[in-house]
A = this chain, B = another copy of it.
Amino acid sequence: MEEAKGLVKHVLLVRFKDDTTPDQIEELIKGFANLVNLVPPMKSFHWGRDVSIENVHQGFTHVFETTFESTEGIAEYLPHPAHVEFSKRFLPRLEKVLVVDFKPTTVHA
């Protein structure tokens, strides 16, 4: 099993509060994406709506997957002023949130 060297994926699952408008969600997604330009160790940003059909999503509706150069990079990101500022707008709009970080590892089966 091989770990990608250093690379860490930072995955957020969220459900927005019911009274959050589509425009507000779009603005928040753009703000989240823009952190790639502001926080050096943050390397990429992708998002998507949950489209699963197994019904074990536990109510989460959106996925945000960002990539960092290392776990130290995530430790730098969390208290970064740009992230703190964004979180002040983002977190109050969330009904629920779950975060996991992992070093993507392959298996030669």
Binding site for B on A (CB under 8 A): 1, 3, 8-11, 13, 29-30, 32-34, 36-37, 45-54, 56-58, 60, 62-63, 65, 71, 74-75, 78, 97-109
A52 nearest CB neighbor, chain B only? B101
Q: Contacts A11-B11, A74-B53: A65 and B104 contacting too (C-beta < 8 A)?
A: yes
User: Do residues A52 and B100 form an inter-chain contact, with CB atoms below 8 A?
Assistant: yes
| Interchain CB contact (< 8 A) of A102 among B48, B54, B99 | B48
Q: Smallest CB–CB gap between A7 and chain B, Å? A: 10
Q: Contacts A71-B51, A98-B58: A30 and B109 contacting too (C-beta < 8 A)?
A: yes
User: Do residues A45 and B106 form an inter-chain contact, with CB atoms below 8 A?
Assistant: yes
How would you classify the secondary structure of chain A's contact residues: helix, strand, loop or mixed?
A: mixed
User: Do residues B13 and A107 form an inter-chain contact, with CB atoms below 8 A?
Assistant: no
Q: How far is the CA of A8 from the CA of B45 in the complex (A)?
A: 15
Residues on the B chain within 8 Å of A10, using CB: 52
